[in-house]
Structure formats: structure tokens, C-alpha cells
Amino acid sequence: MLANLTLAVMWVGLTCYALFAGADFGAGAWDLLAGGPRRGAEQRALIEHSIGPVWEANHVWLIFVVVLLWTGFPPVFAAVMSTLYLPLTFAALGIIARGASFAFRKVSSEPRLRQVFGGLFAGSSVVTPFFLGTVAGAVATGRVPPGLGAGNPYTSWTGPSSLLGGVLAVLACAYLAAVYLCQDATRSGEPQLAEAFRRRALATGAVTGAVALAGIAILHSDAPQLFAGLTGRALPLVIFSAVAGAAEFPLLWRRHYVTARVVAALAVTAILWGWAVAQYPVLLEPNVTVAASAAQNSVLAPTLVALAVGAVILVPSLWWLYSLFQQRPRERTRTLRAMR
């Protein structure tokens, strides 16, 4: 009971990380594709305004997931960290480089330095979710065996399903960011930017759907057990995600951006929980289950109590931060001057 509850709480944290930090990473990807310093100044200013107050706070969810995996399921934590240390190290370096370059770009007055830091910020915003996606693919396809360093550190995360997971992670982040930025631009009174991100959201949604469809064949041949789970008991969640993804197109087409935000988040949430349902109760192939890998109740019970107490402080604080900034208009002139 406590083990299942701990796993569910950890998955809620993973979902929050995908929805909030994922949009942050995606905004960095659009920063990369915004164009030259002058042509892309408007878009970069909006992106900077949107993620500025929350990009660091979003990584609270990653720390939450890692600590809970370590505390609640130590054998799984040991196996994942010792086998997948390469992509996890690359992702950690990407997170550090991204945050540092974002901060340095904001305070740099030299145009050349701003370009260098901007390129580093945008590039690391793309590679970081890619490596995190390969980690998810490696775990989901059973390439992380139980034991300390028992898996191959090179081939465990470079298989077809892992690469598919990396590509889908980058696309999902870009898609979420484009949808979220539509409403941010509208609220700032910049319909031309809203239109630009609306087109990108539509295009990214179509590409993500096409890659996901192509990925069915990859999963069928490379990860048959996961494929069976996704087409079995997790099928309702998979269908819900597909329907929500399809519903995005008329919502974006008609510029219902607030509703589009909710539906996009539901589509990503459904596929994440579909993965969990498909794999449950196995955490690591072939037979490391939730019950077998969980810590004792004497550890899980105080951990859950501590999380509940912490949530009383954390959740309202994050909600207040998000809601306050969503009501705050962008200081357009000053931000644009800095971006140019």
C-alpha cells in the first residue's frame, strides 16, 4: 500500500516536471529558432519574460523525483544511476549550462557575449530533454537490469526506443512551449507573436503525432512488453492522449489558447501515466516489482508524512508564483532594448 502510494506521488512529481520544466526547455528550443538578433528579438523577449521567474523553480520537481526514487526504491535508483550515468551526466551538465547561460545573457551588455550565452542556453535546452528522454526509453524497454552497474553504459540508452524517447521528449517540450506562449503573447497585447507561436504549435503538434505513430512500429519490434502494455490495459490512456492531441488543432485554429493549454497538458499527462500503467507493477525488467524494490514501511511512512507537510508550503507558493506572473504585463520596451 505505502509502496504504491509512494510510486504514485513520485509519478505526480514526474508529471509536474514534464509539464512545467518541459515547457521551459521547449521555450529554449524556440529561442534557438527565433532568428538573428534583430529579427528574433521580439520572440526572445517574450520567451525570457515567460520563463524568467519560474525556470529555476521548475527543477524542484526533478529533485523531488530523484530523492523519492532514492528513498523509496533504492535498488531501482542504484541500477538506473549506475547504468545510465552517461546520459544523466549529460542532462545534468545541460541543466547547469542552460541556467548559467540564461542568467549571464540577461546581464551581459556586450552583443557578442549575449549571442554566445544565448546559443548555449538554446542548445542546452534541446539536448537536455533529449538525454532525459533516452533515460526514460532505456528504463521502459528493459535495458536497465537490476544490480549495481549491471547494464551496458553505452548501448543501454542508444537503442531505437531510447532514441525515439529522446526525439519525442524534445518535440513534446517544443509543443507545450508553443501552446503556452500563444496565451502569453495574447496577454501581452502582441497578436503577431501569438500568431507565430500558433503556427509553430500546429506544426509541432503534427510532427509529434507523426513521430508517435511511427514509434508504434519501433516499440513493437524493440520493446514488445511495453508495446503489449500500451495496447492492453493502458490503451484507454493512450487513446485519451491521442484524442486530446487531435482536439488541439481546432482549439489552436480558433485561437482558444487557454483551453488549448489545458488540453495539451492533459495529452502529455495521459501518455506519461499510460507508460506507468503499461509497465506496472514492474519497475525494472524482468522481475523487479514495486513491492520487491520498495523500502521498508518504517522508511516510506515518515517520507510520505514529510512530503505532505512540505507540500503545504511548496504547492501554494508555486501556485502563487505562477498566478502572479501570469497576471503581470511584460515591460516590452525595456526588455526589447536589452535583447537587441
pLDDT per residue rounded down to tens, the chain (340 residues): 899 999 999 999 999 999 988 888 998 889 888 877 778 888 888 888 888 767 677 888 999 999 999 999 999 999 999 999 999 999 999 999 998 998 888 888 888 888 899 889 989 999 999 999 999 999 988 899 998 988 999 999 999 999 999 999 999 999 999 999 998 899 888 899 999 999 999 999 999 999 998 888 899 998 888 899 999 999 999 999 999 999 999 999 999 999 999 999 999 999 999 999 999 999 998 889 999 999 999 999 999 999 999 999 888 888 888 777 766 555 554 555 555 5
Count other C-beta atoms under 10 Å from residue 196's C-beta: 20
d(CA 247, CA 100): 37
Q: Under 8 Å CB-to-CB from 216, ≥6 apart: which residues?
A: 227
Q: Please report whether residue 206 resides in a domain.
A: yes
Length of the chain: 340
Q: Please report whether residue 32 resides in a domain.
A: yes
pTM, rounded to two decimals = 0.91
End-to-end CA distance of the chain: 56
d(CA 48, CA 182): 14
Q: Please report whether residue 107 resides in a domain.
A: yes
d(CA 45, CA 35): 13
Total domains, the chain:
1
The pLDDT, as a whole number, for residue 329 is 57
The pLDDT, as a whole number, for residue 317 is 87
Q: Please report whether residue 337 resides in a domain.
A: no
Q: Count Cβ atoms within 10 A of the Cβ of residue 277 and give its class: 0-12 exposed, 13-18 middle, 19 or more buried.
A: middle
Answer yes or no: are the C-beta atoms of 166 and 249 closer than 8 Å.
no
d(CA 24, CA 55): 6
- Letter for the amino acid at 159? G
Answer yes or no: are the C-beta atoms of 332 and 185 closer than 8 Å.
no
- Letter for the amino acid at 185? A
Q: Please report whether residue 335 resides in a domain.
A: no
Q: Please report whether residue 223 resides in a domain.
A: yes
Answer yes or no: are the C-beta atoms of 45 and 339 closer than 8 Å.
yes
Q: Please report whether residue 62 resides in a domain.
A: yes
Q: Count Cβ atoms within 10 A of the Cβ of residue 187 and give its class: 0-12 exposed, 13-18 middle, 19 or more buried.
A: middle
Q: Which three three-digit cell numbers place residue 124?
A: 542546452
The pLDDT, as a whole number, for residue 1 is 84
In 12-66, which ranges are E strands?
none
| Domain of 129, in residue numbers | 1-328
